[in-house]
Amino acid sequence: MRSKNKGREHDGPTSQLQPAHDALLRLATRPQDACALVALYDGYGNHLKASAVRWFGPDAELRSRAVLSILVAIGRQAGTYDPQSMNASEWLSRVADVEARRLREALDTAGSKSVRTRRSM
């Protein structure tokens, strides 16, 4: 089955995953490889944004900041990517969800502390 992605043709799902796989492997060996991180964002930015929407809802500023934090987490954790255990798309989705949840919990904790501080005054 052939599909089109941004004007390029690919043979099935495995060839669509190859650029992400390659970019993750490049990041694992060279965490400073900004081009690899950009390639992941180009290919999976919508997935990262979807994760941010699930955790942060309609707040565009929070979503934008969350996506940037998710990209940083991907860069930091690229060395843990194991292509034998899962494909690149699944790994990226998991890292994105874990980081977004961590950010949401930190935001909620900070918000509840500020409410308690205001009440005690």
Helix axes 34-56, 88-120, angle to 10 degrees: 50
Q: What is the pLDDT of residue 111?
A: 76
pTM value is: 0.77
Rounded to whole angstroms, the Cα distance separating 98 from 121 reads 35
Weakly modelled stretches of the chain, pLDDT under 70: 1-17, 113-121
In this prediction, residue 114 carries a pLDDT of 54
- Contact between 81 and 91 (Cβ < 8 Å): yes
All structural domains of the chain? 14-120 (1.10.1740.10)
Which residues in 67-90 are b (16+ Cβ under 10 Å) and which e? Answer: bebbbebbbebbeebeeeeeebbe
Can you give the pLDDT at residue 5? Answer: 42
Q: Which helix (H) or strand (E) holds 7?
A: none
CA distance 34 to 96: 18
Separation of CA 104 from chain center: 14
Task: Give the pLDDT confidence score for residue 9 in this predicted structure.
Answer: 42
Residue 19, SS3?
helix
Q: What angle do CA 71, 73, 75 make, to 5 degrees?
A: 70
